[in-house]
Chain A
Amino acid sequence: MRGLVSRLVLPLAAVVALVAAGSAGGAQTKTVTFIIAGAADPTYLDPALVSDGESFRVTEQIFEGLVSLKPGSTVVQPGLATKWSSKNGKDWTFTLRHGVKFHDGTAFNAQAVCYNFNRQYNFTGPFQDASATYYWQTVFLGFKHNESADLSPSLYKSCTTRGNYTAIIHLSSRSASFLAAMVISSFSIQSPTALKKYGANQGELRNGTFYPTGTYAFSHPTGTGPFVFKSWTVGEKVELVKNTKYWGKKPQIDRVIIRPIANNTARVQALQTGEINGADLIQPQDVPTIKNNSKLKLLDRPSFNVAYVTINQKNAPFNKLAVRQAIAYGLDRQGVVNSFYAGRAQVAQEFMPPQLFGWTNKVPKYPYNPDKAKSLLRSAGLSLPVPIEFWYPTGVSRPYMPRPDLNFQAFSASLEKSGFKVTAKSAPWRPDYVKNVNQGTAGDINLIGWTGDFGDPDNFVGTFFQSASPQWGFKNQAIFNILTKAEGEVNSKKRVKLYQQANVMIMKFLPGVPYAHSKPALGMQRTVHGYVPSPVGTDPFAGVSIGGQ
């Protein structure tokens, strides 16, 4: 009998012992590899056809746009264009960089620029879907031939070239936010040859789902950037290698591996074990873990977001200003920011971050004051407690709202102290919650927020309040007008003034209560140098080096 047991148990024990003997460290290689983890696989590696941060994390390394962001800021700097100008806000002339080659060896020139813009302008069928061309539709509104009545006429008119190195983009009306939007990865320049060769524009509707039949975005994305695409194993990694013929400063690392690790804690633990060099989307609760680890360091992503409480004015009595003020005084914003953001956030006073032009300190402020809230409610002729339906999302962590459930619980406790009777309602973030918020069916108040795509106030307050929307349930023509005027203003000084005025008006009217601007965190091994987080989330890896301490 003993023989039998040992025959079964021994091999197993041997395996366990061998495992214990082996170490978890990765294989030694001569090439310098930078391994960074995000939360998910990229969707697709054709930047024109995606809008998610995980895809942009990769495309940002492979592709470049006409303009780019100065690392760590939202200031526009030259990219593939060295200079640009516009006299009337409609015709934008870009002077292009010489001697740049795509990864497939073809030359970058004005024709390539126009090809890329015209490609998106001419999209038809499934490509006109918002899930495919979200940013084109955000910035340029429509296509050459709009196939849906919901699309507006296109802001883009045409693209002309003068010689090989001047491209002029013609818009159908004045736009001041156009240039800032050109930093979005969706407008980066891809190799026309590769796009054609690998069928980037080939796709069909298969049983109602957009199905790309080409191989471009899965295995041949081709740009001018500092890294060249090598391989993509779904669920495991995207691998990029150094572009040895890069026109700018050559990267110091030989290859980049981008891993999807969905679980937040799993990502931090992989950083602790050394399986990855860097991790994005670090949650506040993991901040101490990284701080206390001598091998790791914390990086700040500059704050470029806002978390806020929507107040839906369609529902009485929230159409009364006094009641909205009572809500603002009844939310313990400082308490929430202190407790749940690990010291990485500030209380928001208005609907856009202080780093952005147009922000002003002159807005009315509403510090936590339960007594004032109660007297405001009484002055509005209401008997206490005032019932209020309060929604929050589950199954989600956003950079501006790492723990919605905790924010919610603290807020509802402070509201109950301020004369309200809270009814809790939750919905999973994906997909019911946001729909309810946008359609104005998420209770009287709800938690939501926004992360900016590019450095323009229009991307914040313009998105929220430029026209009536069911989310807020109000019509305030004065606010709509001033925001529309500000968006089209080409004079930058006047523009700043207009947005400041708008912010004061908004905070007096109080359509909702902004409560936090957070500074999202990244974790890195101490040996990683030169990693500069971008406010909009598209961090360049070209400047990264690994070594020393």
Chain B
Amino acid sequence: MLRYLVRRLFLLVPILLGVSLLIFFWIRALPGGPAESLLGERATPALVAAYRKRYGLDKPVYQQYVTYLKTTFVDRDLGVSVASRRTVFSEIRQRFPATVELSVAAMIFAVGLGIPLGFVAAKRHGGVFDHLSLVGSLIGISIPIFFLAIILKYIFAVRLAWLPSVGRISVLIDMKHPTNFYVLDAIIERNWSALWDVLKHLILPAIALGSIPLAIVTRITRAAVLDVQNEDYVRTARAKGLAPLTVDRRHVLRNALLPVSTIIGLQTGLLLSGAVLTETVFAYPGMGSWLRDAIFSRDYPVLQGGILFLAFVFVVVNLIVDLSYAIINPRIRYS
């Protein structure tokens, strides 16, 4: 187990180096540069040339790559954003918690609703509810996420005015942000009205972002429960007269949740992709919309640092999922 962990950690290095190279050369292949995007109509060729020189883009490529590695591993602040003039790391400290909060809320929605739905569908295998849940989950993955987000927002925020339409927190609320996870911040500060406000801001984006994971979790749960139900130990448990509820809880659900737990890890990349669109619709100040903007404004340091950071998170989450899988299921041995 430990050897496996060490080997996996060791493998992270080439992957992340590969990502950094990929990002680096991709950025150099982009047409245009930050000067044009900052100055708009006012960018004359002379200004652009001066800008490239100032920002070191005329230096040899390997030198630029070394600089990039230096900001990442020596300075550890990932460089300075061209657009905001703040360090990329300080921006990540603000925006990453926003995206994590949104993704976690989306996963809670997906798992909280998907497991019971999948479970019930499996218990009534072949029934109307089963078919409905299958079709529903297929429709769920067939709707473009931004389309769903816009429709949800139009109905629940604009028309019915039940929920706020933009942002993470009402701007009238003054609260300290020790962690930048606003839910945690509100709890730490014991500011319950702020907590309520933050949760309200999370609901619609989380539902939009969670729709695809919901569909997937429902289906996986259903399939897993169907599989497990026919296993010998479940039959044995039933045969020896255990209450159906106990059987369901102790044997069926517990074992069926194994595949579900891996799926949650695999959704990380999907959530981050979806976050780009969801954050755009709800003006939610997270990583997704920030990186999208950075691509359009050619904010090189943000792209280099931000995407590398996301890639790091992604591979680490996958590692944790693999490990936890091994812990949950002692039958699996890594070597």
Contacts and interface: CB of A to CB of B under 8 A. Distances in A.
Q: Is A–B contact present in the complex under a CB 8 A cutoff?
A: yes
Interface in A10-43: 11-12, 15, 19-20, 22-24, 26-27, 29, 33, 35, 41, 43
Given A262-B280, A269-B157, A395-B296, A3 B245 contact: yes
Nearest to A432: B32
Nearest to B123: A1
Chain A contact residues: helix, strand, loop or mixed: mixed
Contacts of A210: 54, 80, 85
A439 B49 CA distance: 12
Interface stretch (B6-14, B113-121, B257-265, B312-320): B113-121
A430 B297 contact: yes
A134 B42 contact: yes
A127 to B, nearest CB: 11
Given A263-B283, A430-B298, 4 more contacts: A8-B115, A9-B116, A22-B162, A275-B164
Chain A interface bracket (under 10, 10 to 19, 20 to 34, 35 or more): 35 or more
5 contacts: A19-B162, A19-B203, A257-B172, A432-B32, A439-B45
Interface stretch (A234-242, A348-356, A380-388, A414-422): A234-242
Please indicate which of the listed interface residues B68, B82, B172 has the most CB atoms of chain A within 10 Å of its own CB: B172
B55 A208 contact: yes
A3 B226 CA distance: 20
Interface string B40-52: 1111111111110
Nearest to A204: B80
A130 B51 CA distance: 8
Contact of B296 (A19, A130, A430): A430
Contacts of A129: 50-51, 54
Nearest to A135: B42
A29 B172 contact: yes
B31 interface: yes
Interface in B111-134: 112-113, 115-116, 119-120, 123
A412 interface: no
A275 B36 contact: no
A67 B112 CA distance: 61
A4 B253 contact: yes
A209 B35 contact: no
Given A5-B116, A5-B119, A29-B172, A130 B285 contact: no
Counting chain B CB atoms within 10 Å of each CB, which of A33, A235, A267 scores highest?
Answer: A235
Interface string B1-44: 00000000000000000000000000000011111111111111
Q: Is the interface of B mostly helix, strand, loop or mixed?
A: helix
B249 A4 contact: yes
Contacts of B248: 1, 4
A236 B285 contact: yes
Contacts of A448: 41
B203 A234 contact: no
Contact of B41 (A1, A205, A450): A450
Contacts of B38: 52, 131
Contacts of B267: none
Interface in B148-185: 153-154, 157-158, 161-173, 177
A393 to B, nearest CB: 10
Q: Interface residues of B toward A: which range?
A: 35 or more
A324 interface: no
B47 A150 contact: yes
A24 B158 CA distance: 10
Contact of B170 (A11, A218, A275, A450): A275
Interface string A209-234: 11110000010000000000000011
Nearest to A271: B165
B244 interface: yes
Interface string A262-300: 110011011011110000000000000000000000000
Interface string B200-226: 100100000000000000000000000
A512 to B, nearest CB: 14
Nearest 8 interchain pairs by C-beta: A235-B285, A208-B56, A431-B32, A431-B36, A431-B37, A430-B37, A208-B55, A211-B80
Given A22-B200, A43-B83, A266-B283, A438 B44 contact: yes
A491 interface: no
A207 B73 CA distance: 13
